[in-house]
């Protein structure tokens, strides 16, 4: 038997009691969707492990591994060699499949897990047998049960026995689609793609809303948002992007509202528009990339003024994060390089010279009355463009 598989270990999903089955179904669906363009695979689950097997030679297991590493709900994954359930076959498979790793190590230990209780050898016996065999085959090796260079893991399951080394860390989280749907207000900046990723990690399906103000913001800025979302979608699955034209509204604010309150007023209109769209899209919450104190519009007082217009919960997963922490995550999900490309965002055009860092709600509400916000909002909401974004 020459079979090789990817074993994916489910995380928290195992704690979900009666919902577990439903969670697992969503996880399998998400994995299958991400593997569709890679080749033909069989994907099945047994005892909180998901098995990914290539159905033919063309199916690329390396690429499949890369894709699976980004599926939320998987805490760890390992490539494993499959052996027939016979002690001698398991020993040979371990020696052959892990040859390179074992040759590069000085110490090792073997750990066996036997979920097939009908298998006639108990775990310690399998470990001892495989260990002894490997010592013979690789005479340079020593056993170290406390700090081995390599842990050879043997899992005796229903169909086969699997041999592998320590699993690599997976994306963690819970499967996207099990946590409802929320709308991320996405800019081309560093923060909002990371915020989107963090909520997707907790099982939330995403709809994205972007405000553009052409010609002040360019087509390239919009395209940048699309590329960012494509990166996020490697983890978050398909994302619908709704782009709203905010030019007229922004011009009206610039021309008629009290200058030092312009940013907070703009943000209130963003939230109002986003909430309406979110409702139509069946989203239960909004998400932003705000982080406390990062800019004038992200002080407690400014956030309070913005939040006052929203009836939906607004999640800000980065509220307590430092820029360095956000940058680290942006590197991890590979959005950093795109985010730092210099295109204007609608939040950065017409910015007041001295924005008020501690706006007071009733002054903001008064300042807002200088424009016919309702009509402008209604008009903006008729000028939307929609597209589906999905990583390959």
Please report, as ranges, the residues that interact with Mg ion according to CB under 5 A: 187, 189, 345
Tokens 């090792």 sit on residue? 108
> Dmax over Cα atoms in the chain, in whole Å?
85
- Cα–Cα distance for residue pair 55/389, rounded to 1 Å: 28
18-57 burial code (b ≥16 CB/10 A, e <16): eeeeebbebbbebbeebbeebbebebebeeebbbbbbeee
- Nearest Cα neighbor of 85 from 60, 61, 45, 114 is 114
92: contact with ligand ATP by CB under 6 A: no
245: contact with ligand ATP by CB under 6 A: no
Among 126, 186, 199, 376, binds ligand ATP (CB under 6 A): 186
215 prior amide bond cis, ω within 30:
yes
Among 95, 161, 183, 185, binds ligand ATP (CB under 6 A): 185
- Cα–Cα distance for residue pair 212/318, rounded to 1 Å: 23
210: contact with ligand ATP by CB under 6 A: yes
- Cα–Cα distance for residue pair 68/63, rounded to 1 Å: 9
306: contact with ligand ATP by CB under 6 A: no
Our CB check for Mg ion shows the closer of 112 and 184 to be 184
Which listed range, 23-31, 62-70, 159-167, 184-192, lies at the site for ligand ATP (CB under 6 A)?
184-192
Which listed range, 137-145, 254-262, 292-300, 306-314, lies at the site for ligand ATP (CB under 6 A)?
292-300
Among 178, 207, 233, 297, binds ligand ATP (CB under 6 A): 297
Which listed range, 19-27, 43-51, 117-125, 183-191, lies at the site for ligand ATP (CB under 6 A)?
183-191
Q: What is the nearest approach in angstroms of ligand ATP to the Cβ of residue 365?
A: 20
Asked whether the beta carbons of 106 and 149 are under 8 A apart, the reply is yes
211: contact with ligand ATP by CB under 6 A: yes
- Cα–Cα distance for residue pair 78/57, rounded to 1 Å: 20
- Cα–Cα distance for residue pair 95/103, rounded to 1 Å: 10
Q: What is the nearest approach in angstroms of ligand ATP to the Cβ of residue 328?
A: 14
276: contact with ligand ATP by CB under 6 A: no
* 190: partner contacted, choices ligand ATP, Mg ion, none (Cβ within 5-8 A by kind): ligand ATP
Asked whether the beta carbons of 372 and 223 are under 8 A apart, the reply is no
Q: What is the nearest approach in angstroms of ligand ATP to the Cβ of residue 318?
A: 8
Residue 334 half-sphere exposure, CB side, CA atoms within 13 Å?
A: 9
Containing 155, the helix (H) or strand (E) segment is strand 150-156
> 317: helix, coil or strand?
coil
Asked whether the beta carbons of 241 and 275 are under 8 A apart, the reply is no
Among 83, 90, 102, 346, binds ligand ATP (CB under 6 A): 346
Among 192, 247, 250, 335, binds ligand ATP (CB under 6 A): 192
Among 288, 299, 306, 335, binds ligand ATP (CB under 6 A): 288
Our CB check for ligand ATP shows the closer of 50 and 277 to be 277
187: contact with ligand ATP by CB under 6 A: yes
DSSP string, 118-156: TSSS-HHHHHHHHHHHHHHH-TT-EE-SSS-SEEEEEEE
Which listed range, 29-37, 101-109, 185-193, 254-262, lies at the site for ligand ATP (CB under 6 A)?
185-193
Q: How many residues bind ligand ATP (CB under 6 A)?
A: 20
Asked whether the beta carbons of 177 and 237 are under 8 A apart, the reply is yes
Q: State the residue number with the nearest CB to ligand ATP.
A: 189
Q: Which residues bind ligand ATP (CB under 6 A)?
A: 185-187, 189-192, 209-211, 270, 288-290, 294-295, 297, 345-347
């Amino acid at each position: 038997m020459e079979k090789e598989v990817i074993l994916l270990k489910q995380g928290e999903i195992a704690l979900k009691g009666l919902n577990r089955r439903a969670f697992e179904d969503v996880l399998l669906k998400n994995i299958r969707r991400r593997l569709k363009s890679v080749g033909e695979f069989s994907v099945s689950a047994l005892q909180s492990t998901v098995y990914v097997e290539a159905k033919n030679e063309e199916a690329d297991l390396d690429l499949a591994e890369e894709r699976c590493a980004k599926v939320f709900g998987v805490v760890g994954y390992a490539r494993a060699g499959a052996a027939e359930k016979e002690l001698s076959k398991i020993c040979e498979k371990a020696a052959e499949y892990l040859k390179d790793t074992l040759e590069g190590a000085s110490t090792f230990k073997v750990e066996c897990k036997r979920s097939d209780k009908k298998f006639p050898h108990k775990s310690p016996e399998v470990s001892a047998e495989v260990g002894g065999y490997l010592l013979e085959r690789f005479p340079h090796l020593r056993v170290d049960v406390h700090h081995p260079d390599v842990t050879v893991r043997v899992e005796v399951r229903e169909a086969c026995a699997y041999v592998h080394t320590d699993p690599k860390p997976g994306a963690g989280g819970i499967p996207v689609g099990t946590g409802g749907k929320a709308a991320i207000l996405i800019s081309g900046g560093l923060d909002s793609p990371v915020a989107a990723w963090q909520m997707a990690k907790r099982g939330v399906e995403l709809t994205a809303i972007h405000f553009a103000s052409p010609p002040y913001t360019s087509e390239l800025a919009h395209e940048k948002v699309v590329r960012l979302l494509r990166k996020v979608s490697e983890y978050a699955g398909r994302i619908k992007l709704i782009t709203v034209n905010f030019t007229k509204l922004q011009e009206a604010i610039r021309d008629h509202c009290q200058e030092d309150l312009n940013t907070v007023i703009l943000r209130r209109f963003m939230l109002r528009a986003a909430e309406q769209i979110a409702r139509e899209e069946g989203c239960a919450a909004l998400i932003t990339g705000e982080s406390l104190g990062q800019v004038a519009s992200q002080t407690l007082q400014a956030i309070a003024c913005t939040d006052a217009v929203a009836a939906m919960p607004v999640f800000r997963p980065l509220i307590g994060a430092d820029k360095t922490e956000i940058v680290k995550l942006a590197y991890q999900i590979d959005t950093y390089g795109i985010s730092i490309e210099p295109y204007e965002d609608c939040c950065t055009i017409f910015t007041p010279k001295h924005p008020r860092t501690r706006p007071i709600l009733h002054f903001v509400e008064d300042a807002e009355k200088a424009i016919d916000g309702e009509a402008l909002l209604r008009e903006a909401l008729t000028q939307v463009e929609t597209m589906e974004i999905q990583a390959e």
